[in-house]
Amino acid sequence: MGKNKSGAEKRRQAKAKVEAAEAQANMIPMTPAQAAAYMIRQQKDQERREKEASGMALVEQAELAIKSVGKTKRAPLLTADDALRANVATALLEIFARFDDDNDGALNRLELERFAVATNGEKFEEAAIDELKKSFNCNADGNLTRTGFLEMYQLQTLSDPNETWKDLIKHGYSIDVKLVNRATGSANINYARQDISKPATA
């Protein structure tokens, strides 16, 4: 008797779910299988909306952090003799490694373009690339080395530290130069094996 009641209760619950699904679908009659599929779609749509909302929240937080540059007390980027601080150099080399896909210690044209788009939303102009090659350390193939990357950021920081802060924040670093969100670029698993405490070499 108890089993019969349990079965009847389950049937009533299933029917109620079907009726609820039909109501949500503007009272279009559906079979139980169609109703179940409809409910699954509804659940997936809800999960997608929640993910989108979460992603938008991260974007809004990043935009707010970038807007606050210059208004918030931040860790210093340079030493007293205008060299990049060790933790800043480490952060920049971590960013560099995300785009050094072939792990050869230099950014080729394609890797450099990906870095530019991820950082500024657009590729470098041809004149800017020529200037990079003339001004900063490059290898025999004309690709920007880790040393050249640090040279580029040292010069930028001397000229406009807010620009360097915007780049660090864009790539997921906090105002105390700690990685809080790897938001862009590709993770380079080989980078973890490199000793970034040593000076960068060409």
Query: What was the pLDDT predicted at 89?
Result: 97
Asked whether residue 191 carries a pLDDT value surpassing 80, the answer given is no
pTM: 0.59
What are the residue ranges spanned by the domains of the chain?
Answer: 2-67, 86-193
Which one of 11-15, 17-21, 52-56, 75-79 scores highest in mean pLDDT? 75-79
Say if domain 86-193 classifies as CATH 1.10.3720.10. Answer: no
Query: What was the pLDDT predicted at 189?
Result: 34
Angle at 135 between CA 118 and CA 171, to 5 degrees: 20
Residues 24-46 have pLDDT tens digits of: 655 556 677 766 777 787 777 77
Asked whether residue 106 carries a pLDDT value surpassing 80, the answer given is yes
- With beta carbons less than 8 A apart as the criterion, state whether 168 and 91 touch: yes
DSSP state of 179: B
In which element (H, E) is residue 194 found?
none
Rounded distance, CA 169 to CA 77, Å?
13
DSSP letters along 81-112, please?
TSPBPHHHHHHHHHHHHHH-TT-SSEE-HHHH
Locus of tokens 């405490």: 197
3 state DSSP class of 145:
strand
Rounded to whole angstroms, what are the CA distances from 96 to 3, 35, 41, 165?
66, 51, 41, 15
Rounded distance, CA 53 to CA 13, Å?
32
**58-78 mean pLDDT:** 64
User: For the range 76-82, what are the long-range contacts, defined as Cβ-Cβ under 8 Å and sequence gap of 24 or more?
Assistant: 77/157, 77/161, 77/164, 77/165, 77/177, 78/154, 78/157, 78/158, 78/161, 82/154, 82/158
Sorting pLDDT into bands at 50, 70 and 90, what band is 74? Answer: confident
Axis-axis angle for helices 126-135, 109-120 (nearest 10): 110
With the CA atoms of 147, 149, 154 and 156 taken in that order, what torsion angle do they form, in degrees rounded to the nearest 10? 160
Locus of tokens 């080399």: 93
3 state DSSP class of 22:
helix
Query: What was the pLDDT predicted at 23?
Result: 59
Residues 139-161 have pLDDT tens digits of: 999 999 999 999 999 999 999 99
Query: What was the pLDDT predicted at 178?
Result: 92
- With beta carbons less than 8 A apart as the criterion, state whether 154 and 147 touch: no
